[in-house]
Amino acid sequence: MSRIDLHLHSTHSDGSLRPSDVLRLAEKARVTALAITDHDITSGLPEAMSAGEELGIEVIPGVEISSFDGRSELHILGYCLDWKDPLLNERLGTLRASRHRRNPLIIERLRAAGLDVTYEEVRALAGTESVGRPHIAQLLMQKKYVSTAKEAFDRYLAEGKAAYVARELPPPDEAIRWIREAKGVAVLAHPTWVKTSGEGLRTCVTELKEAGLGGVEVHYSTHSKSQTASYLDLAQRLGLLITGGSDFHGVTKPDIEVGSGRGDLRVHPRLLAPLKEAAARL
Ligand SMILES: [Zn+2]
Ligand SMILES: [Zn+2]
């Protein structure tokens, strides 16, 4: 049963596998097309594309941009965009710099809470310049302060917990504009993150559509059947594209597999053509 996966992370952000290794897992999972959507960065795409050519998997250029609407952190996926666009990459660079400023502050707070951790240790463990909270969670696991990444977030790292530090994020309409200006299609990732439902969710997504949003990630690893149905209904009512992906990260989200999520995810290959057609019209 062929499938696609339009939401995957690599070592270029907070995933644990290199882009070429993600592609190899995709081949095993019979994924025919995919998008590497690293957080606020496009540097993993050349490796993904050459691995894709080798393995016969279509690689759609992608990115996932973090934004904040005053209430919820919203992630905006960008597809089929001109990922070499200098302005886009400059904007993403500024966004990454704000994350770099945040990590040492998180470590300071963990230390203030009595945990023996240093930023150097997190960087060594991450093995990349792109350090994120999942790496900090991994360090807390290694040092036996917690037994799972989820526990690290629940006890220390999540919003409202002792070591939470807010990031300076652009509003979602700005993230959408960045993607549009790079000739990409903007899609709302994991809509469960929108901290409102029913009419409120509809209003939020309608406003995002007015700002240029092109689609909704209807199919997602952690969506229940009823959530999938309600996001599908919302996308169809608003005339938005339907996309889907696993949000694979490797060891930091060990229950999520490339292509199949928690086992029951299947993103149909027929969703790809409308996305590419929308991008070609931009
Ligand atoms: Zn996300
Ligand atoms: Zn993601």
Residues 6+ apart with CB under 8 A from 145: 115, 152
- 66 or 70, which is more confident? 66
Mean pLDDT calculated for residue range 155-162: 93
Query: What is the DSSP track for 40-64?
Result: T--TTHHHHHHHHHHHT-EEEEEEE
Q: How far is the CA of 219 from the centre of ligand 2 (A)?
A: 13
Of 130-134, 167-171, 182-186, 258-262, where does mean pLDDT reach its minimum? 130-134
Mean pLDDT calculated for residue range 182-202: 93
Q: How far is the CA of 123 from the centre of ligand 2 (A)?
A: 21
Question: Confidence band (pLDDT; 50, 70, 90) for 269?
Answer: very high
Task: Tell me the whole-structure pTM to 2 decimals.
Answer: 0.87
SS3 category, 81: coil
The order of strands in the sheet holding 3-8 is 3-8, 31-36, 58-68, 73-79, 185-188, 215-220, 241-245
Q: Is the pLDDT of residue 26 over 90?
A: yes
Which pLDDT does position 126 carry in this prediction? 84
Query: Residue 253 CA: which ligand is closest?
Result: 2
User: For strand 3-8 and strand 31-36, is the pairing parallel, antiparallel, or unpaired?
Assistant: parallel
- The tokens describing 173, both together, are 């309409």
Which pLDDT does position 99 carry in this prediction? 79
- The tokens describing 257, both together, are 């597999």
Q: How far is the CA of 182 from the centre of ligand 1 (A)?
A: 20
Q: Is the pLDDT of residue 197 over 90?
A: no
5-14, 66-75, 161-170: which is most confident: 5-14
Asked whether 231 and 218 are in contact (CB, 8 A), the reply is yes
Q: How far is the CA of 114 from the centre of ligand 2 (A)?
A: 31
Mean pLDDT calculated for residue range 35-47: 97
User: What pLDDT, in 10s, does the model give residues 68-92?
Assistant: 998 889 999 999 999 999 999 999 9
Question: Confidence band (pLDDT; 50, 70, 90) for 59?
Answer: very high
Which pLDDT does position 132 carry in this prediction? 83
Q: How far is the CA of 236 from the centre of ligand 1 (A)?
A: 22
Query: Residue 190 CA: which ligand is closest?
Result: 1
C-alpha 15/C-alpha 130 separation (Å) is 10
Which pLDDT does position 138 carry in this prediction? 93
Question: Confidence band (pLDDT; 50, 70, 90) for 213?
Answer: very high
Alpha carbon 252 to chain centroid, angstroms: 13
- The tokens describing 12, both together, are 């270029």
Rg (CA), the chain: 18
Residue among 280, 274, 270, 276 at smallest CA distance from 4: 270
User: What pLDDT, in 10s, does the model give residues 115-139?
Assistant: 999 999 999 988 876 788 889 999 9
User: For strand 58-68 and strand 215-220, is the pairing parallel, antiparallel, or unpaired?
Assistant: unpaired
Which pLDDT does position 107 carry in this prediction? 95
